Amino acid sequence: MTRRSWGRVAVLAALPLTLMGMTGTAHAAQGDCGSGYTCMWEQNYDQEGGGISFQRYIPDLSLWDLTNGHGANDTISSVKNRGSYEGTCLFPDAYAGGYGIHLARGYSFSNLAVSTNLNDAISSAYVDGFASC
């Protein structure tokens, strides 16, 4: 293989890792929500259920599964923002569609049914700077 071909292989091999870092890594429990991430769970914090986390955005949750294998779209019941950015916007429609709600850095919604009208209704999420809510 030529040097040029090896360069293409290296770029293609790194692409999935780059995309994963931009959109999300799944986590299941509240304690698994690392610094720099916004984490979302299917159930309230102390209950069982899958989770998902991201650093920048997830434009369409219908394309993602939670850690328990359930689809991520319209299943989120709690959110914690441990992100590196100011806040996170949660939207009822994919690609930042619909009326979004803002969650400041360091805050959480432990039960979206009590806190907002977005319990089991989140379809996309972005940190500030990637979308406005």
State pLDDT tens for residues 21-40. Answer: 444 444 445 567 899 999 99
Give the distance from CA 60 to its chain's centroid: 10
For residue 132, is it within any domain?
no
Average pLDDT over residues 97-109: 95
For residue 133, is it within any domain?
no
Split at pLDDT 50, 70, 90, the class of 1 is: low
Q: What is the CATH number of the domain that holds 63?
A: 2.60.20.10
Range of the domain at 109: 3-127
Instruction: State how many domains the chain has.
Output: 1
CB 66 within 8 A of CB 75: yes
- Separation of alpha carbons 58 and 62, rounded Å: 10
pLDDT attached to residue 6: 43
% of the chain exceeding 70 in pLDDT: 74
HSE (CB half, 13 Å, CA atoms) of 57? 15
pTM: 0.75
Average pLDDT over residues 69-74: 97
